[in-house]
A and B are shown apart, each in its own frame.
Chain A
Amino acid sequence: MQKIINFFLGSVYVRIETSYPERFLNLCAKFGIAFWDMSNEAIDVIFVRMTVRNFRRLPDVVRKVPCRVHITEKNGLPFFLHRFRKRKALVLGCMAFCVAAWIFTSFVWVIDIEGFSGLDTEKLNENLRKYGLDVGVYASGVDVDAIKNNILIEMPELSYVSVNLNGAYAYVTVKKRSMPPEILSKEIPCDIIADKDGTISDITVKSGTPQVKRGDAVIKGQLLASGYITGRAGTTIITHADAEIRADIWRKVSARMLKKYEKKVYSGREEKVYTIILPKRRIKLSFNSGISYAKCDKIIETTELEFFGGIKLPLALECETFREYKTEASFFTDAEIFDELGQDVHSCLIPGEDAVEKDSDFVTSSDDTFAYATLTVKHNEPIGEKREILKNG
């Protein structure tokens, strides 16, 4: 630590020629002139290192002790900067850089939103803009508390909002509110009806009268458990039906694809267009008016520019590559169709769903343009939804 301080203050290595080195050092100590790295060259010659500030106070000692003082070495930042005293443009450039860095870091350039999966991003961005947080706004003018409070009022689906400003970055963290499911009150009498077609695989009625049994095929809307219970004496009471019912649901998954396709044949010619992206502006670096290719692929690569140490700048460099191609009519082979459609139909399966048929069933359309694949799948899942028993019916 002391070395760092000495570097910033600047130090000199001094040769002192005196017949009284002890007296010289005692006086230095008396005047509070700190020194270090002392060495003897001869009986009357010593070297000491001291800060520039202490060296300026050395005349007090020199007046009392006959000696010759000579600087042999200069170290530290003041001497390093002294070299540049005549290079005014460099000094001005450094100052301009510092001022520019200070000005640019006073604005928000990047808004980083976390925890926003499954919510309306556009609505949040709009609200942030509305309450004063946008790319390019002055950071000190952002009222973080007002933004948090107003967004929580405007977006009831959020339970938590935090806004942290760190230099040119604004970190917005949100949390989605878990809405309680709409549950029919246990006091309200209800039936349980099928909400989809299927075959009952398991039924446990906790309250109410079962209307179907295991193995029964049911259709959507069919009564599965009734809220009416008839007692031994023949009296009927109405209750809130409650049951755990599972059913095998069958469905067909299908996929289709064109047998004919246009094959790309690249000509080998390509052009690149570079663009600098600023927060609210795009600067094109190419001067050509446009791309002359009739058909081409456009590949966009965006590189976010970073300062040393990974500090993101509000700049990005975009490189658009236009690759020319021509098309040729081609047909998929049977094996390709088989693989492609097989993957398509299997990708439609929900986790836990079983394919009843091992292989997909392939057909080709009458005009030989399309190929179709169908697969029957089975899934065991809960079935039934509660329906209130209306008193008049």
Chain B
Amino acid sequence: MEKDSFRVRASRLFDIPQDIPGGLLHIEMTGDREVFVENHKGILELSENEVILSFGKAGKLHIQGSNLAVTAMNPEEIRLSGIIGNVAFGG
């Protein structure tokens, strides 16, 4: 198992949410209609059925579904809408 970074361990020690100092992904979903991802590092692939987001060295986030579209985006946050079927982490 991969060892947690110093920031993640420190945030766990001080009871701080780990997404803030650790740079981990923060994902919020509204049913299967919308997904909001914080701390991403950009879009790697974009199509109606699949969106792959990078979150740095840690890996990728695969969002699969239909009619997927980017509702809003800035360097740190992205909001996707459509019919979301599957959200998975992958290398």
A40 near B47 (CB under 8 angstroms)?
A: yes
Beta-carbon contacts of A22-52 to B below 8 Å, as 1s and 0s?
1001101110101111111001001010000
Contact A26 B43 (CB under 8 A): yes
Option from B44, B45, B75 in Cβ contact (under 8 Å) with A32? B75
Residues in A with CB closer than 8 Å to B13 are: none
Asked whether A29 and B42 contact (CB < 8 A) given A35-B72, A36-B72, A40-B69, the answer is: yes
Q: List A contacts of B69 (CB < 8 A).
A: 38-40
* Nearest-neighbor residue (CB-CB) of B45 within chain A: A22
User: When chains A and B are docked, how far (Å) is the Cα of A36 from the Cα of B73?
Assistant: 8
B43→A32 contact, CB < 8 A: no
> What interface size band does chain A fall in?
10 to 19
Find out whether the CB atom of B72 lies under 8 angstroms from the CB atom of A40.
no
**Residues from chain B with Cβ under 8 Å of A48 in the complex:** 70
Check: B46 CB closer than 8 A to any chain A CB. yes
B5 within 8 A of A: no
Partner of A40, one of B48, B71, B74: B48
With A and B bound together, what is the CA distance between A276 and B3 in angstroms? 88
Query: Nearest Cβ in chain A — how far from B4, in angstroms?
Result: 28
Instruction: Judge if A21 is at the interface, Cβ distance under 8 Å.
Output: yes
Find chain B residues with CB under 8 A from A30 CB. Answer: 75
Interface residues of B in 47-79 (CB under 8 A from A): 47-48, 69-75, 78
Q: Are B46 and A29 in contact (CB under 8 A)?
A: no
A20 closest partner in B (C-beta): B46
Choose among B45, B48, B70 the residue with the greatest number of A CB atoms under 10 Å from its CB.
B70
Contacts A21-B46, A43-B47; A38 near B70 (Cβ below 8 A): yes
Partner pick for A34 among B44, B45, B48, B72, CB 8 A cutoff: B72
Given contacts A21-B46, A29-B42, contact A37 B71 (CB under 8 A): yes
In the complex, what's the smallest C-beta–C-beta distance from B47 to chain A, in angstroms? 7
- Considering the chains assembled together, what is the distance between the CA atoms of A34 and B70 in angstroms? 11
- How far, in whole Å, are A250 and B75 apart by their CA atoms in the complex? 97
Given A38-B69, A39-B69, A40-B69, check contact A29 B75 (CB 8 Å): yes
A26 to B73, CA, bound (A): 9
**B46 neighbours in A (Cβ, 8 Å):** 21-22, 25, 40, 46
10 contacts between A and B (CB under 8 A): A22-B43, A22-B46, A25-B73, A26-B42, A28-B73, A30-B75, A36-B72, A38-B71, A40-B69, A48-B70
The 10 closest A-B pairs by CB, nearest first: A26-B42, A22-B43, A38-B70, A22-B46, A29-B75, A36-B72, A38-B69, A29-B73, A21-B46, A39-B69
